[in-house]
A and B are shown apart, each in its own frame.
Chain A
Amino acid sequence: MIGNFVSTRFNYILGWARKYSLFHYPFITACCGMEYMSTAASHYDWDRFGTGWTRFSPRQSDMLVVCGTISHKLAPVLRTVYDQMTEPKWVMAFGTCTVSGGIYDNYAVVQGIDRIIPVDIYIPGCPPRPETVLDGLIKLQEKIQKQEQAWRWKKRK
């Protein structure tokens, strides 16, 4: 009983810590990158919401921000970047291109990055406005808070 209580509280605290220190890796390939920049830079400043550091190494980051068109030529690269990230990790699909392929329904473009890697939050828009992105970010944080957290000594069910 008390063990359950402790582990639930610990789960809560971990979730709280994780949602407010989302080191992110920007995987930017196209025009959505501009909107990522304006969201991340001082004007909209998503650091206010705890998306602190931009790590340019997938091994040090918790959130993969995929901005822009992903072509079939690039798909293995994105897959490798995702595989290199350490747990826990979340993926944000930023812009219509990453959500569904967007306006590019042709031979070259992957129709949504969820065909390559699992996605936690979808942000539509071509490109999405920074407010939309912040809204998506807060939704992702809510999701992280509610999630079952994993930690090293946790008993596996």
Chain B
Amino acid sequence: MEKKKVIEELKKKFSEKIKEVSVQFGDEILHIERDSLLDIVQFLKDKPYSYSMLLDLTCIDYKGQEPRFEMVYHLFSIPNVQRLRIKVGLSEKDLRIDSLASLWKNANWLEREVFDMFGVDFKGHPELKRIFMYDGFEGYPLRKDFPLRKRQPRIQMRK
């Protein structure tokens, strides 16, 4: 299936939910509304589009802009050999988004990573807790306003 056609059908079906479609390095980027994420992703995952593989899921902190955070999803369609990127803006005051853990198993840990590093709250995630940092760690280290050298040792340091 042609990629243009996928975008066209998406626009037809979710016209008011898609804010913008741009192209970078030969791959389309969809900027969408937060509340329609699950519907759009489910639509893409089903046949005939078959974006059945979640390559990566991450977050970006644009400090000083609004919305401050941006979730990025990389999808891959194995039968059509196509990639698609989905971006969702999140404001700092309301840092919540639907979890994709029900659709892809790997989203579980990827979302835990984003929660650990950025503090994004995933609705419907089965076990949302820190994955890299230890219990008792305070703050979200990949946010731009986290102090670079703020260390939180777990044991007494010698000096």
Contacts and interface: CB of A to CB of B under 8 A. Distances in A.
B148 A76 contact: no
Contact of A115 (B146, B148, B150, B158): B158
A107 B146 contact: yes
Interface in B44-95: none
Nearest to A72: B153
A79 B155 contact: yes
Interface size class of A (residues with CB under 8 A): 10 to 19
Which interface residue of B132, B141, B149, B155 has the most chain A CB atoms within 10 A?
Answer: B155
A34 interface: no
Contact of A116 (B133, B146, B150, B155): B155
Nearest to A73: B134
A79 to B, nearest CB: 6
Interface in B139-159: 141, 146-155, 157-159
B152 A105 contact: no
A65 interface: no
A106 B149 contact: yes
A115 B149 contact: no
Nearest to B142: A107
Interface in A98-134: 105-108, 110, 114-118
Given A107-B146, A108-B141, A72 B151 contact: yes
Interface of B: 132-134, 141, 146-155, 157-159
Interface of A: 72-73, 75-76, 79, 105-108, 110, 114-118
